[in-house]
Amino acid sequence: MRIIVDTDKCEGHNRCYSLAPDLIDVDDYGYASAIGDGNVPPELADAARLAVDNCPEYAISIEE
């Protein structure tokens, strides 16, 4: 599973960062990016889905 942030859509709500801090990092302006290549270990799959389901900009997706 991989988590992907569409940086064109991200407006920096930072919901993903607070729900999945092990998967998402934010820059100095609050814009999000996936940590590393976005690989989601099984124990973080729920956190990844929460990040998807709580981003008001629909900027996060998951590739199974």
Partner 1 sequence: MTDTSDGLDFAAATTEPVEDWATDYDIFDPDYIADPFPIWDDLRGGCPVAHTDRWQGSWLPTKYDDVVALARMVPELSSTDPIVVKPPSDDTADANAYSTVNAPPISSDPPVHTWSRRLILPAFSPKATEAHEPFTRQLCQDLIAQFIDRGEVDAAGEYAQQIPPRVIAHLLGVDPERADDFVEWVNGVLGAGLSRPEVRTHYRGKIREFFMAEIADRKANPKDDLISELLAAEIDGEPVPDLHVAGTCNLLLVAGIDTTWSSIGAALWHLATHSDDRQLLVDDPSKLDNAIEELLRAYAPVTMARVVQEQTEFQGVTFEPGDKILMNFPGANRDPEAFENADVVDLERQRNRHVAFGVGIHRCAGSNLARLEMQVAIGEFLKAIPEFHLAEGANVTWAGGQVRGPRKLPIVF
CA torsion sign for 16, 53, 22, 25 is negative
Q: Which of 2, 54, 61, 62 binds partner 1 (CB under 8 A)?
A: 54
Using CB under 6 A as the binding rule, whether residue 40 contacts ligand SF4 is answered as: no
Using CB under 6 A as the binding rule, whether residue 5 contacts ligand SF4 is answered as: yes
Question: What does 27 bind: ligand SF4, partner 1, none (CB cut-off 5 to 8 Å by kind)?
Answer: partner 1
Half-sphere exposure of 38 (CA within 13 A, CB side): 17
Which residues have C-beta within 8 Å of that of residue 31, sequence separation ≥ 6? 7, 10, 12
* Binding footprint of ligand SF4 on the chain (CB under 6 A): 5, 10-16, 32, 55, 57, 59-60
